[in-house]
Amino acid sequence: MITKKLNWYYICLLVFGLLFVVIPTLSLAETIELTFAHPYTAVHAQHTGVLVPWARKVEAACNGALKIKFIPGGALAKPGQTYSMVEENAANIGWDICDYSPGRFPLTTVIELPFMINSAEKASVALWKTYEQFLEFQKEYESTKLLMLSCHAPGVFAAVKKPVKTLADLRGMKIKTASSITSAALQMFSALPVTQPVTETYTSLEQGMLDGVVMPYDGMAIFKVHELLKYYTPADFYSMVFWVAMNKDKFNSLPEDIKQVIEANSGLPFSRASGKFFDETNTAMKQKCINAGMQEVNFPKIEKQKLLGLTYPLKQQWVMNMEAQGLSGGAVLQAVTGFLNE
């Protein structure tokens, strides 16, 4: 009887001891960590207002089985290097601007044509719907798992010394440009587009190397150039596209339930949320620009028509360039325009 009691004692002791070995191992195995890297600061409005809330929502829906760790500030890649970083799985997820990888996403640039959009949310939704509609558009991102496409709020003209009220006012002005399409439009206005990193724009304005910028209000405030600019002219001139993508192999390796959670919170709802937040931030930053002393001026209707007329050929040229690459530029432009007008 004593022997039997001792045997049960040792068995219980062994099982109890194994719990300390096995349970922590299982606990660690249950939590998957994904890294999310981008080149911008941790105080960027999209980081704090869109990306982090998206990650926390996904984590909550996974009930502790997933953790998303942010690595902002270009610690892993500078602007333009992020997509390659995601392809190589140096980070599992990334966020960047399409134009910083020139030539890589040709159909995506459709939304960057002049005077296309008046709302970042509408533009982001229209772009994602167009992406879903065209297989050749989807092929631009086929090396990754695309999670979001979004546009920033419409860019405006802003100047240091003289208000921009007419086409003639733009003649000869040195203006910080945003993309190759924006540069082409500025040249049509007889302005002098200057390509440079936005981080250099404050110094360039301060030293007189630039006369003005084309930029959304939030960009002016984020990079503090609103401190030097005196006039702004609303024009819905242009936008640029941001993407969020995940390494395809990493996504495919996830448990099915986690993949379903990521899918449910990505695509159209993620794109819409990003665009909506761009609009909201832009409104607040416009007020910040006004509070800093910037004054609003406007194009008379006839002057706006001149700008529209001059840049219309850029749409035709864009279509021809796409079709020369074997892409359905005309159909894509028609589709995104239709979605913008919904």
Calculate what percentage of the chain has a pLDDT beyond 90.
84
Q: 129 Cβ partners below 8 Å, 6+ apart? A: 268, 335, 339
What is the Cα–Cα distance from 291 to 307, expressed in whole angstroms?
29
- Residue 232's φ and ψ, nearest 5 degrees, are -135, 145
- Judged against a pLDDT cut of 50, whether residue 5 lies above it is answered with no
Comparing CA positions, the residue from 279, 285, 273 lying closest to residue 219 is 285
Helix (H, G, I), strand (E, B) or coil at 163: coil
- Mean pLDDT of all residues belonging to the chain: 91
More confident residue, 24 or 191: 191
CATH fold, domain 33-101+120-153+240-282, is D-Maltodextrin-Binding Protein; domain 2 (3.40.190)
265-300 burial, b at 16+ Cβ within 10 Å, e below that, comes to: bbbeebbbbbbbbbbbbbeebbeebeeeebeeeebe
* Torsion angle defined by CA atoms of residues 161, 164, 167 and 172, in that order, rounded to the nearest 10 degrees: 20
pLDDT attached to residue 16: 41
Q: Which CATH architecture has domain 156-238+287-340?
A: 3-Layer(aba) Sandwich (3.40)
**Which of the residue ranges 7-11, 207-211, 230-234, 284-288 would you say has the lowest mean pLDDT?**
7-11
- Judged against a pLDDT cut of 50, whether residue 236 lies above it is answered with yes
Give the containing element (helix H, strand E) for 112: none
CA atoms within 13 A on the CB side of 202: 10
Categorize the per-residue pLDDT at 199 as very low, low, confident or very high, splitting at 50, 70 and 90. confident
Question: 219 to each of 73, 202, 331, how far by Cα in Å?
Answer: 17, 11, 32
User: Looking at residues 268-294, what average pLDDT do you find?
Assistant: 96
- What's the full length of the chain, in residues? 342
- Judged against a pLDDT cut of 90, whether residue 141 lies above it is answered with yes
27-41: pLDDT as tens digits: 344 799 999 999 998
- The per-residue DSSP string of 204-258 comes to HHHTTS-SEEEE-HHHHHHTTGGGT--EEE-------EEEEEEEHHHHHHS-HHH
pTM above 0.85, yes or no: yes
Helix (H, G, I), strand (E, B) or coil at 342: coil
Tokens at residue 262, please?
Answer: 């990521």
**Range(s) for CATH 3.40.190.170 in the chain?**
33-101+120-153+240-282, 156-238+287-340
Q: Which amino acid is at 283?
A: T
pLDDT attached to residue 309: 95
Comparing CA positions, the residue from 288, 170, 173 lying closest to residue 219 is 288
Categorize the per-residue pLDDT at 196 as very low, low, confident or very high, splitting at 50, 70 and 90. confident
Q: Are 275 and 49 a contacting pair, CB within 8 Å?
A: no
